[in-house]
Amino acid sequence: MVEAVRQGPIKRRGLMLVLSSPSGAGKTTISRMLLEREADLMLSISVTTRPKRPKERDGVDYHFIDQAAFDRMVQGDELLEYANVFGNAYGTPRATVSQALDQGRDVLFDIDWQGTQQLTEKARDDLVSVFVLPPSTEELERRLRARAQDPEEVVRGRMAKAADEMSHWAEYDYVIVNTDIEASVAEVREVLHAERLKRERQKGLRDFVEVLRAGS
């Protein structure tokens, strides 16, 4: 009995960690570093109709699909949320997420405010949302240009949209200003670690305490 208490990690339900930001605020880098450092965190790989960028890999960064396939997924209720962003369709496949949560694994979502609103409606208790802000407009623009993977008109379009996107900061549980990437990753990890300890997520607590009390 006592041995079981020592060994057994308390059974926990996974959480949905959402990161949103305007393009260029550093969210993708933060996501990548988080996934490297957090063994129990897996990325929700979205489907999108956007053309693949040169460095991207199908099935790793996104599942790149055409509009007809996207529409079929919507009709089949296969997407947990979906939205149109900059003229392209994006969506979160439902299947892997609920399985991961039930197994106590946390899932990271790199999605926009529209998707976050939908997840908030559908799964508030499982959701932890973080909005990443750039340190300044100048820095945002510099980062967008340094990326240089998109045509000029796309960059300009995204900068115009950034102000709109940032207006949604108040809909998030946590807000981080990404001045220093290491500091930002550390902050998101603090959020993740604290949220894992929420009493309601630790499904095995009741049994665990029962055992503790019986052994006293």
Residue 179 backbone phi and psi in degrees, to 5: -85, -40
Strand, helix or coil for residue 30: helix
Q: How many CB atoms lie within 10 A of CB 50?
A: 15
- Tell the smallest beta-carbon distance from residue 114 to ligand 5GP (Å): 5
- Tell the smallest beta-carbon distance from residue 40 to ligand 5GP (Å): 21
Taking the least distance from each CB to ligand 5GP, the nearer of 103 and 149 is 149
Taking the least distance from each CB to ligand 5GP, the nearer of 2 and 74 is 74
- The residues that touch ligand 5GP, with contacts defined as CB under 6 A, are 23, 46, 50, 81, 83, 85, 90-92, 110-112, 114-115
Taking the least distance from each CB to ligand 5GP, the nearer of 18 and 104 is 18
Listed residue (207, 205, 213) closest to 12, CA to CA: 205
Instruction: Output the residue with the shortest Cβ distance to ligand 5GP.
Output: 115
Taking the least distance from each CB to ligand 5GP, the nearer of 112 and 187 is 112
Strand, helix or coil for residue 48: strand
- Tell the smallest beta-carbon distance from residue 82 to ligand 5GP (Å): 6
- Tell the smallest beta-carbon distance from residue 30 to ligand 5GP (Å): 12
In the block, residue with structure tokens 């997520």: 201
Alpha carbon distance 120, 171 (integer Å)? 9
- Tell the smallest beta-carbon distance from residue 165 to ligand 5GP (Å): 7
User: Are 208 and 8 spatial neighbours (Cβ–Cβ below 8 Å)?
Assistant: yes
Residue 124's Cβ-count burial label (10 Å; 0-12, 13-18, 19+) is: exposed
Taking the least distance from each CB to ligand 5GP, the nearer of 132 and 185 is 132
